Amino acid sequence: MNATDTRTVLLETALNLIWNSNYNSVGVNEICKQAGVTKGSFYHHFESKAQLFCEATNHYWDEIRRELDCIFSPINSPLEQLENWLQFIFINKVGEDKDNVPGCAFFTAGMQAGCGENRISDTLQVMTERGAKYNQALVLSLLNNNYLQNAKDPEQLARLMQQYVQGAIMHARVTRNISNIKKDLPEGIYRILGLKPEFWFSTKPTWPCTEPT
């Protein structure tokens, strides 16, 4: 592999291992073994596991951003955007295996990072803020189109949406109950948003979708 390929393989391998395990339990040796590269190659590209994780986070964001742009495309109505977002969470963060709810590797890593891991915390803060901007735009769209019951603070609602989703996913991982989260997550989001009851479950998701041209 050339240098670019080696770097990409390391980024994607780290994401896969951390996603299916956790940040603390995945070491450099395992990453190198699974990626099929030497430790010398690893340290040629990254000074530490923390740096690899931070750059892998940005690598993942570049990929997921295309999905979010599709989900929140203006060609979709605000209600379609909401249901597509929920569908995205069910497919990517919950899955179908009650014994292996993937959740969010970045949220988990943030909880595991020690107080001295400022680089990781800062990177995850940026990741969180990026996601919140999409949520905030959705809230504004729902509000402007009269889908919400009362005037809301879009910035606060964007945070509440993230907090509720992460908590619900962690609960599903602990209880190993996918049925409950699929039932509870949409209604919880509707209540947080103040979505008018007549619009609850009124729209079918259209995601996965193709990226608009």
Q: In whole angstroms, what is the distance from residue 139 CA to residue 152 CA?
A: 8
CATH number, domain containing residue 162: 1.10.357.10
Nearest to 41 by CA among 69, 90, 8, 76: 8
Look up the pTM and report it: 0.83
Answer yes or no: is 124 within a domain: yes
Residue where the block lists tokens 């996913």: 169
Answer yes or no: is 114 within a domain: yes
Range of the domain at 106: 50-199
Answer yes or no: is 173 within a domain: yes
Answer yes or no: is 45 within a domain: no
Q: What is the pLDDT of residues 1-52, one digit of tens each?
A: 666 789 999 998 988 887 777 777 789 999 999 999 999 999 999 999 888 8
Answer yes or no: is 5 within a domain: no
Nearest to 105 by CA among 15, 34, 213, 37: 15
Q: What is the pLDDT of residues 98-119, one digit of tens each?
A: 777 666 666 666 666 554 577 8
Answer yes or no: is 34 within a domain: no
Answer yes or no: is 38 within a domain: no
Q: Given pLDDT bands bounded at 50, 70 and 90, which one contains residue 212?
A: very low
Q: What is the pLDDT of residues 137-183, one digit of tens each?
A: 999 999 999 999 987 799 999 999 999 998 998 888 888 888 999 99
Task: Give the CA angle between residues 104, 112, 158 to the nearest 5°.
Answer: 45
- Residues 70-92 have a mean pLDDT of 93
Answer yes or no: is 28 within a domain: no
Q: In whole angstroms, what is the distance from residue 146 CA to residue 196 CA?
A: 9
Q: In whole angstroms, what is the distance from residue 102 CA to residue 169 CA?
A: 9
